[in-house]
Amino acid sequence: MLKKRSLALLGAALFLAWNGLLLLFLWGRPGASPGPQPPPGSHLLPAQLLQLAQDAEAELRLQRELLLQIQQLAACTATNPAKIPTKNPPKPKTGGTTRTIGDPTGEAPVIPVLVLACDRSSVRRCLDKILRYRPSARRFPVIVSQDCGHAETAAVIASYGAAVAHIRQPDLSDVAVPPEHRKFQGYYKISRHYRWALGQVFRTFRYRAAIVVEDDLEVAPDFFEYFQAVLPLLQQDRSLWCASAWHDNGKEGLVDAGRAELLYRTDFFPGLGWLLLAELWDELEPKWPPAFWDDWMRQPEQRRGRACVRPEVSRTMTFGRKGVSHGQFFDQYLKFIKLNDRFVPFTQMDLSYLKKDQYERLFLRQVYSAPEIRLEELQKEPGRDSGPVRLQYRGRDSFKALAKALGLMDDLKSGVPRAGYRGVVTF
């Protein structure tokens, strides 16, 4: 990259030198001008002098614009090579070497935000908060990928101008589905859209990490701070495969709002505002499912024993009751999720405790040093804070009964409870 930058700067210098010499030569000739020559023996009139000055000014302006273009190309090549498509893209490393994401000068990494949109003109609420809270347009470019071809939604996205990049999923046809899945056509289209949009981010634009958001999410003030801080964990700890801004059991009253800095590992893929590396997309893309992509992510074949990072207090909340799920869980759980409203300086904190070995030593010690009590004992004095306690469940039915009694989400996906880690659900 340094060689390319040097060549670009050398070309710019030679270009300017040549044009400077040319202008000096033209100005130094008696009666010379960049335009047509006056007849012999004539004198330059004031109008001709004015035209000569204007021509020279225009020429200098053109040279300045060309120089700026050369400088921008050199800077783009040097500081963000991942954005320049190549005919033969380098294959990602798959061994123990951690790939560096971002700028070789040591600046903060570039992490695009991919917003998946369809036919919700309320995407404005999502984009307004993203643009309001992002600390840098260069470090967090926003790409809105629209499916469905909905004109009103397209107009809303276009109203942001250059603040966002608007791309459109080209295939709007129905997906061929099994007869028994006819009513699930929407889930098939969503999965197709995800595959296409993630392919654009990682293949066409060649970013090395991305934050994925849907058009019905509102983000917290420290949304970007959180993801910037946890990115190095994903690079360093291969037992992590994503970081999510969402807490499935993040309802008011079930979280410790006063400790918004708390982060956990979870075996459950939360989604709803999540970060992944390009290496993970290299792994998932060839086998991407035709439908129900999020539940597919929760299967053991995809998870492969890996965990995600998730917060105690959600950094996203959903306002999208209407959708292909027809409001499933929304009225009972999702609309009560507490969105964090306090900025936590995660990038200034030591998050190494989330690495697998260190985390399991500390977390499991805390869990099993807490006294075990029965549900009835907890319900007798629900307002009394006696410190951490442990309720033990034994099997699926036992878990579901406890979860319902406590107001937690009681469903399991591939045997994993929401927000759980090694079978432990904290609240």
Q: What is the pLDDT of residues 135-144, one digit of tens each?
A: 999 999 999 9
| Active-site residue, selected from the candidate residues 55, 119, 282, 294 | 294
Contact 344, 225 (CB under 8 A): yes
Q: Give residue 393's pLDDT.
A: 97
DSSP H helices, 321-369, are 356-369
Distance CA 252, CA 338 (A): 5
Cα atoms in the 13 Å half-sphere on the side-chain side of 366: 12
Distance CA 110, CA 245 (A): 18
Q: Is 294 a catalytic residue?
A: yes
Of residues 63, 113, 75, 80, the one with CA closest to residue 227: 113
Q: Give residue 106's pLDDT.
A: 60
CB-based contacts of 296, cutoff 8 Å, min separation 6: 289, 302
Distance CA 90, CA 299 (A): 30
Q: How many angstroms separate the most distant Cα atoms in the chain?
A: 112
Q: Give residue 292's pLDDT.
A: 97
In our burial notation (b when 16+ CB lie closer than 10 A, e otherwise), range 303-313 reads beebbbbbbbb
Contact 352, 266 (CB under 8 A): no
Q: Which amino acid does the sequence have at 98? A: T
Coil, helix or strand for 10?
helix
Q: What does the block give as tokens for 109?
A: 């990494």
Contact 240, 307 (CB under 8 A): yes
Whole-model pTM over 0.85: no
Task: Look up tokens 């075990």; give the residue.
Answer: 372
β 240-244/307-311 pair status: parallel
The string of pLDDT tens digits covering residues 79-99 is 333 332 333 333 333 333 333
Of residues 387, 405, 389, 386, the one with CA closest to residue 397: 405
What is the chain's pLDDT, residue by residue, as a tens digit (427 residues)?
444 445 455 555 555 554 554 444 444 444 443 333 333 333 434 444 445 445 545 444 444 444 444 344 334 333 333 332 333 333 333 333 333 344 445 678 999 999 999 999 999 999 999 999 999 999 999 999 999 999 999 999 999 999 999 999 999 999 999 999 999 999 999 999 999 999 999 999 999 999 999 999 999 999 999 999 999 999 999 999 999 999 999 999 999 999 999 999 999 999 999 999 999 999 999 999 999 999 999 999 999 999 999 999 999 999 976 655 545 677 888 999 999 999 999 999 999 999 999 999 999 999 999 999 999 998 887 667 778 999 999 999 999 999 999 999 999 999 999 999 999 999 9
Cα three-residue angle 290-295-297, rounded to 5 degrees:
85
Distance CA 323, CA 117 (A): 12
CB-based contacts of 73, cutoff 8 Å, min separation 6: 8
DSSP 336: G
Count the neighbouring beta carbons within 10 Å of the beta carbon of residue 211: 26
Task: Look up tokens 């907890």; give the residue.
Answer: 378
Cα atoms in the 13 Å half-sphere on the side-chain side of 6: 3
Q: What does the block give as tokens for 371?
A: 């006294």
Contact 382, 254 (CB under 8 A): no
